[in-house]
Amino acid sequence: MSEPILSVRDLSVSFPSEYGTVHAVQDLSYEVHKGEALAIVGESGSGKSVSSLAVMGLLPRTATISGEIEMLGHRMFELDDKQLSRLRGNTISMVFQDPLSALTPVYRVGQQIAEVVRIHHPEISKARAHQRAVELLDAVGIPEPGRRAEQYPHEFSGGMRQRAMIAMSIANEPELIIADEPTTALDVTIQAQVMDLLKSAQELIGAATVLITHDMGVVAGFADRVLVMKDSRMVELGTVDEIFYTPREQYTRDLLAAVPRADVDGATESRSVAGSAMQKLAEVGGTEGERPPREELPTVLEVEDLVKVFPIIKGAIVRRKVGEQRAVDGISFDIREGECLALVGESGSGKTTTLMEIMQLRTPQEGVIRIGGKETGALTRKERAALRSDITVVFQDPMAALDPRMPIADIIKEPMRVQGYSKQHMDERVDWLLSMVGLLPEHAARFPTEFSGGQRQRVGVARALACDPKLIVLDEPTSALDVTVQAGVLAMLADLRARLGVSFLFVSHDLSVVRHISDRIAVMQKGRIVELGDTEDVFTDPQHPYSQELLSAVPIPDPEVARSRRRESIDRSAFEGSSGDSLPDPEGAQ
Amino acid sequence: MTNPNDIRGTEDASALRRRTDPDANPVMGATVDDPVLQATEIDESAGPAIESLGRGELLRRRFLRNPSAWVGMVIFLALVLLAVIGPIVYQYGPFERDLRNALTGPSAYHWFGVNENGLDIFARTMQGLRISLVIGIGTALLTTFLALVVGIVAGYVSHKGKAGALADGALVNLINLFLVIPSILLLMLFSPALQQASWLWMIPLLAGFAWMLTARVLRAMTQQLVRTEYVEAARFMGVHPIVTMVRHIIPNIASWIIIDTTLGVSAAILGETGLSFIGFGIQYPQVSLGTVLQDYNISAPYTWIPPAAVLAALVISINLMGEALRDALDPTSGSSRI
């Protein structure tokens, strides 16, 4: 094997805090060779980002660092900031997680790329640098690169911005690209395109890549070698096939098994503790056979031709409508008792607007919403208040959904207090609800900050269950959680559904998550439901081209499958011509 | 510091600590998040659950780590004690004339000297300090109350449909109206008239012209909070709006309100002494630090240095405490470093 480009030896990073020293990275050693793709995988807080910031020399000055990082013969810790700046952007470059905040909003995209070129090669003229920027934008598959270079970041869609970031990172043909969760903020179809592009860019300039991610599916299609991290230490380092097919450590197995897979049925695939959670989920989900047929069950929620249009208004003094955004465009579905309907679509497809329209309990702009047979528009104030306990919501972000200033007992009691429960009844129910969602009754006096993300989401579910609802609306309940935690929360939800017979409306952008929990799937695109059917039918035989596209874009945590998929897509794009043409117009995405 | 969610210290640190030190805290964290559903078989005796620092505790530590907090508190407490005890033990009152010693410097009998009207400066300064402290603190509290009511109501209703937007617009225009009227002229007009009734009228008078900027900030912070998911959740549960405001919104902006009130005290004291100095604030038979300063004689420094020094010490000590509070609440400031 060739000489390593980057070698990290015994790296330890620690930060001082109110609680004593926090060790963010401990005794981490790895090497990256020329042209190689190394993936660093771990859950949040495992130290993967801190270790790469150390490589860039970007840690805050409070950090205590020991060990050695050697990059092409430079010892990084012996360089001062000026010398490091010469390396950054030229020899090492970085792609950040959030492409919106990584680009400066007040400069044109072309200028920002040209700037990277000019900083390291001041001899290049402005015009030449601009030309190079346009070439780079073309190389990363942005249509009309000349016009696009003159635009500002807010005129780009998320995927385009990340492409621009990649263009910037390859501008000076660096030896090493560090990509820190480059696709986490993107939709699944865009994610597939961006990962493809990153792979091609890496092959194009022969750079080594360090990919930091929590998503095993992304790793399978990209990396040559994988480093698994947990709790600031390295767990395992091996080639991608070794890690995926013959993992040595229990943690690696847990991590792999916890990944929900869109391509296999959960029951056949269980290798570990986390896997058995997914299996449990599949078992619970698999008991539907005993239930009476769907048509005989009472309807909990019925939505008919729901329309929500947002006017686009211009002018400060004289307001006039210049157009309209049809966020929800005539959708209809119904949910029966004890059923779980998954509403799947990418960002901007109108999923959240649909939820908000249902939760408002008001007359929609057009169409009808019926809850338990009652039309929401015809409710009196009193009926509406009573109905609030029948339909509850669990939000996406467990950090934002709980008031940080209230102990969780009060948080859970809040809906009951509104419905006028007695004090003793509430206390009893809080204990029962907490144990129902897998927490201890003793936790009731604590504040939300003392809990981890998964636990907070459990508190959110407990609050939603407080008044025996008929329907719980789940707005991406697991998208902010780590995979192993996500598996636990999903298993809990499936268990609750089986035990309490409550119906779910489960909104998600991730098809692999909904596979095991939902009975039926509604695929949304641009405010319309393009496909609605039983989960198995949609997965095995998707009818609408958009459903097919969504399914094929889900990353599969299996290197063999991922490689063969990639070969197929290369063959297809060679057949169809340049891949850039098939990109969606970003104006439409905005 | 306009973001009410600025404090992240507790949360981050407790999350990290949980991961760093698994032996000490085996109960929570990893166990409950275990993917296998385990309802109650967690061992209670295994050790204490994480006791992450409460927010108050964290604030107290950061506040007390700041030396300027100590300096401010010591000076402020000393001045308060002086204002309370001084007039009780001192032998002269603020209006007792000792014309024989008029315009003499500090002595064993007249600690700060006597001015040209034969009035004892120490006695007057202490009495003025009392009045100024009462007016400063009272005005700051009333200002905060007014700002809280207007700001939170305006911020809360601004999202509630057309009627809400109209009400919000009316309140914002009220704020703007108060900002553009020449408050100093109105204060000069009203304060002598209201003084006839009681010197305490200075408090509502000063507060009436000081709440606008705070109200604007509180409105913006409320608007931000109304969009958070936990307020949304409360709405979907059918919680009454006023309950939501009291239970969810005010506690989450309380830290900012406390800082603003603290700094408002010194602003109110400066406003009151300024008005008194030019003859429109506190009137006979009361004295404030401003009226003490008014009797200055430029050639006899002991007539104006003591009240000026007390006034400066008071304002500086309050500002030191306010700044230290702000630093303690701001995670990006230096006091979060150790």
Flag if A438 and B32 touch (Cβ within 8 Å). Answer: yes
Do residues B181 and B323 share a domain? yes
Beta bridge mates, A233: A230
| Range from A111-120, A268-277, A460-469, A562-571 carrying the lowest mean pLDDT | A268-277
Q: Flag whether pLDDT at B25 surpasses 70.
A: no
Do residues B69 and B42 share a domain? no
Do residues B1 and B92 share a domain? no
Do residues B196 and B241 share a domain? yes
Residue B49: list chain A partners with CB under 8 A: 442-443, 446
Q: Flag whether pLDDT at A43 surpasses 70.
A: yes
Give the domain extent around B29.
1-52
For the sheet with A92-95, list strands across it. A92-95, A176-180, A208-213, A37-41, A225-230, A233-239
With CA atoms as reference, the chain B residue closest to A389 would be: B237
Q: Which of the four pLDDT bands, split at 50, 70 and 90, describes residue A299?
A: confident
Among B16, B28, B238, whose Cβ lies nearest the Cβ of A385?
Answer: B238
pLDDT score recorded for residue A292: 66
Q: Which of the four pLDDT bands, split at 50, 70 and 90, describes residue B159?
A: confident
Q: What share of chain A is helix, strand, coil (3-state, %, to 5)?
A: 45, 25, 30
Residue A232: list chain B partners with CB under 8 A: 19-20
Do residues B261 and B326 share a domain? yes
Tally of CA atoms within 13 A in the half-sphere of A119 that contains its CB: 17
pLDDT digits (tens, 9 = 90+) for B204-249: 988 998 899 999 999 999 998 888 888 888 888 888 888 888 888 8
Q: Residue by residue, what is the 3-state secondary structure of A415-444?
A: HHHHCCCCHHHHHHHHHHHHHHCCCCHHHH
Residue A402: list chain B partners with CB under 8 A: 230
What is the number of other CB atoms lying within 10 angstroms of the CB of residue A421?
18
With CA atoms as reference, the chain B residue closest to A452 would be: B29
Q: Which of the four pLDDT bands, split at 50, 70 and 90, describes residue B74?
A: very high
Q: How far is A273 from chain B (nearest CA, A)?
A: 7
Among B28, B237, B248, whose Cβ lies nearest the Cβ of A415?
Answer: B237
Residue B38: list chain A partners with CB under 8 A: 438
DSSP 3-state of A292: coil
Positive or negative: CA dihedral A128, A132, A137, A138? positive
pLDDT digits (tens, 9 = 90+) for B168-215: 999 999 999 999 988 888 888 888 788 778 888 889 988 998 899 999
pLDDT score recorded for residue B141: 94
With CA atoms as reference, the chain B residue closest to A469 would be: B237
Q: How far is A231 from chain B (nearest CA, A)?
A: 6
Residue B252: list chain A partners with CB under 8 A: 403-405
- Between A and B, how many CB-CB pairs are < 8 A? 142
pLDDT score recorded for residue B51: 45
| Range from A25-39, A282-296, B167-181 carrying the lowest mean pLDDT | A282-296
Flag if B14 and A450 touch (Cβ within 8 Å). Answer: yes
- Domain borders along chain A are 4-259, 284-390+469-553
Q: How far is A104 from chain B (nearest CA, A)?
A: 22
Q: How far is A415 from chain B (nearest CA, A)?
A: 5
pLDDT score recorded for residue B139: 94
Q: How far is A91 from chain B (nearest CA, A)?
A: 31
pLDDT score recorded for residue A558: 80
Q: Which of the four pLDDT bands, split at 50, 70 and 90, describes residue B315?
A: very high
DSSP 3-state of B51: coil
Q: State how far the Cα of B192 lies from the Cα of A133, in Å rounded to an integer.
A: 71
Task: Flag whether the ipTM exceeds 0.85.
Answer: no
Flag if A414 and B53 touch (Cβ within 8 Å). Answer: no
Residue B32: list chain A partners with CB under 8 A: 438-440, 454-455, 458
> Residue A169: which H helix or E strand, with range?
helix A158-169
Q: How far is B183 from chain A (nearest CA, A)?
A: 30
Flag if A438 and B38 touch (Cβ within 8 Å). Answer: yes
CATH number of the domain to which B168 belongs: 1.10.3720.10
Flag if B13 and A17 touch (Cβ within 8 Å). Answer: yes
Flag if B38 and A45 touch (Cβ within 8 Å). Answer: no
Q: Which of the four pLDDT bands, split at 50, 70 and 90, describes residue A290?
A: low
Find which of A17, A43, A353 to mutate to test the B interface (most B CBs within 10 Å of its CB): A17
Flag if A403 and B230 touch (Cβ within 8 Å). Answer: yes
Q: Flag whether pLDDT at B6 surpasses 50.
A: no
Do residues B33 and B149 share a domain? no
pLDDT digits (tens, 9 = 90+) for A403-444: 888 888 889 998 898 888 888 998 889 998 998 888 888 888
pLDDT score recorded for residue A89: 78
Flag if A450 and B19 touch (Cβ within 8 Å). Answer: no
Q: Flag whether pLDDT at A122 surpasses 70.
A: yes
Residue B50: list chain A partners with CB under 8 A: 450
Flag if A18 and B61 touch (Cβ within 8 Å). Answer: yes
Fold of A284-390+469-553: Rossmann fold (3.40.50)
pLDDT score recorded for residue A221: 81
Do residues B128 and B276 share a domain? yes
With CA atoms as reference, the chain B residue closest to A482 would be: B33
Burial of A506 (0-12, 13-18, 19+ CB in 10 A): buried
What letter represents residue A137's amino acid? L
pLDDT digits (tens, 9 = 90+) for A164-204: 888 888 888 888 899 888 887 777 777 888 888 888 888 88
For residues A181-194, one letter each, b for 16 or more C-beta atoms within 10 angstroms of the residue's C-beta and e for the rest, the string is: bbbebbbbbbbbbb
How big is chain B, counted in residues?
Answer: 338
pLDDT above 90 coverage of chain B, percent: 24
pLDDT score recorded for residue B134: 92
Do residues B63 and B204 share a domain? yes
C-alpha dihedral (B220, A392, A388, A496), degrees to nearest 10: -150
pLDDT above 90 coverage of chain A, percent: 5
Flag if A62 and B337 touch (Cβ within 8 Å). Answer: yes
pLDDT score recorded for residue B81: 93
Q: Quick one: tokens of A180?
A: 């820190």
pLDDT score recorded for residue A19: 67
Q: How far is B226 from chain A (nearest CA, A)?
A: 12
Q: Flag whether pLDDT at B26 surpasses 80.
A: no
Do residues B30 and B119 share a domain? no
Flag if B230 and A401 touch (Cβ within 8 Å). Answer: yes
What is the DSSP secondary-structure string of B103-151? TB---SSSTT-B-TTSBBHHHHHHHHHHHHHHHHHHHHHHHHHHHHHHH
Residue B61: list chain A partners with CB under 8 A: 18
Among B35, B39, B233, whose Cβ lies nearest the Cβ of A277?
Answer: B35
Q: How far is B132 from chain A (nearest CA, A)?
A: 35
pLDDT score recorded for residue A315: 65
Q: Which of the four pLDDT bands, split at 50, 70 and 90, describes residue A1?
A: low
Residue A385: list chain B partners with CB under 8 A: 238
Q: How far is B139 from chain A (nearest CA, A)?
A: 28
Q: How far is A479 from chain B (nearest CA, A)?
A: 15
With CA atoms as reference, the chain A residue closest to B57 would be: A18
Fold of A4-259: Rossmann fold (3.40.50)
Flag if B247 and A406 touch (Cβ within 8 Å). Answer: yes
For residues A112-142, one letter each, b for 16 or more C-beta atoms within 10 angstroms of the residue's C-beta and e for the rest, the string is: bbbbbbbbbeeeeeeeebbbbbbebbbbbbb
Flag if A449 and B53 touch (Cβ within 8 Å). Answer: no
Q: State how far the Cα of B119 lies from the Cα of A14, in Å rounded to an integer.
A: 65
pLDDT score recorded for residue B43: 37
What is the number of other CB atoms lying within 10 angstroms of the CB of residue B118?
15
pLDDT score recorded for residue A448: 84
pLDDT score recorded for residue A587: 41
Rank A104-118, A369-383, B294-308 by mean pLDDT and report only the highest.
A104-118
Q: How far is B34 from chain A (nearest CA, A)?
A: 7
Residue B250: list chain A partners with CB under 8 A: none
Q: State how far the Cα of A329 lies from the Cα of A312, in Å rounded to an integer.
A: 16
Among B5, B16, B35, whose Cβ lies nearest the Cβ of A22?
Answer: B16
pLDDT score recorded for residue A580: 42
Q: How far is A125 from chain B (nearest CA, A)?
A: 40
Residue identified by tokens 């947990």 is A230
The distance in angstroms from the start CA to the end CA of chain B is: 21
Flag if B237 and A455 touch (Cβ within 8 Å). Answer: no
Do residues B249 and B114 share a domain? yes
**pLDDT mean over A283-288:** 50
Residue B230: list chain A partners with CB under 8 A: 400-403
Q: Which of the four pLDDT bands, split at 50, 70 and 90, describes residue B24?
A: very low
Q: State how far the Cα of A156 lies from the Cα of A154, in Å rounded to an integer.
A: 5
**pLDDT mean over A448-466:** 86
pLDDT score recorded for residue A253: 85
Average pLDDT, chain B: 79
Do residues B239 and B169 share a domain? yes
Flag if A18 and B18 touch (Cβ within 8 Å). Answer: no
Q: Which of the four pLDDT bands, split at 50, 70 and 90, describes residue B79?
A: very high
Number of domains in chain B: 2
Higher pLDDT, B53 or A151: A151
Q: Flag whether pLDDT at B9 surpasses 60.
A: no
Flag if B14 and A449 touch (Cβ within 8 Å). Answer: yes
Do residues B101 and B210 share a domain? yes
